[in-house]
């Protein structure tokens, strides 16, 4: 059955590129990763707004997929959408958080980012598995959310109020953010791992200008 195939799949480490902080390794099942049905259905799941509506339990709807980096559990126990972790940072992570800049990005940088997203495309890494967080302009929507396999996971950002249909609202929000506030400090499993920072924004804009 689909459930037994997932449970019996070979466990392997998730490859985190440019990982910048310690934290638990996340695992996936090879068969779950390579199943064409799950891969195709997860593209559909990404288009669904409202994570509670998506069931990730293999026994319920094995075709639907929620990226397992959002969970801090053994993948042999398929979690429900309500199981997204909200645990405290470790002492080392708390020390790392304290060193992050809390200086707001400011409205000027935010305006430049908004223009870039609309004219040049997203600010997001594109590699296998978890790709950190990114900024997107998708069909009239400015969005900050997590990225998996180079693709945004829209519901994650929308559920947290990181979605803006108005450019001015997005600019106002981003201008108030900082390396600290966007470090994903509410989720130890992905804390400060390829997140949005001032340096990353400025380097992206400079590269787009050919500098």
Q: Report the C-alpha gap between 63 and 189 in whole angstroms.
A: 25
User: For the whole prediction, is pTM greater than 0.85?
Assistant: no
Question: Where along the chain do its domains lie?
Answer: 2-83, 91-208
pLDDT of res. 128: 87
pLDDT of res. 87: 65
Q: Report the C-alpha gap between 61 and 53 in whole angstroms.
A: 12
pLDDT of res. 76: 39
Across the 211 residues of the chain, what is the mean pLDDT of every consecutive 10-residue run? 38 35 33 37 40 31 41 38 57 95 98 97 92 95 94 94 97 98 93 96 96 84
Strand partners, 137: 142
pLDDT of res. 82: 36
Q: Report the C-alpha gap between 149 and 159 in whole angstroms.
A: 20
pLDDT of res. 23: 33
Are 178 and 198 in contact by the 8 Å Cβ rule? The answer is yes
């Amino acid at each position: 059955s689909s459930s037994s195939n997932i449970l019996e799949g070979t466990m392997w480490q998730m490859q985190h590129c440019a990982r910048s902080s310690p934290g638990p390794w996340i695992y996936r099942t090879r068969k779950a990763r390579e199943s064409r049905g799950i891969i195709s259905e997860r593209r559909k799941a990404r288009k669904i707004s409202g994570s509670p509506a998506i069931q990730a339990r293999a026994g319920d709807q094995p075709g639907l997929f929620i990226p397992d980096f959002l969970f801090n559990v053994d993948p042999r126990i398929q979690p429900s959408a309500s199981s997204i972790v909200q645990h405290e940072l470790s002492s080392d992570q708390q020390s790392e958080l304290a060193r992050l800049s809390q200086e707001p990005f400011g409205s000027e940088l935010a305006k430049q980012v908004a223009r870039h997203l609309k004219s040049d495309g997203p600010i997001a890494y594109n590699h296998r598995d978890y790709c950190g967080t990114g900024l997107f302009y998708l069909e009239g929507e400015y969005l900050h959310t997590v990225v998996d396999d180079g693709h945004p996971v829209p519901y994650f950002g929308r559920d947290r109020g990181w979605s803006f249909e108005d450019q001015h609202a997005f600019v106002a929000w981003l201008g108030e953010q900082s390396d600290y506030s966007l470090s994903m400090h509410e989720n130890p499993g992905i804390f400060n791992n390829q997140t949005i920072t001032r340096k990353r924004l400025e380097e992206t804009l400079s590269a787009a200008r050919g500098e």
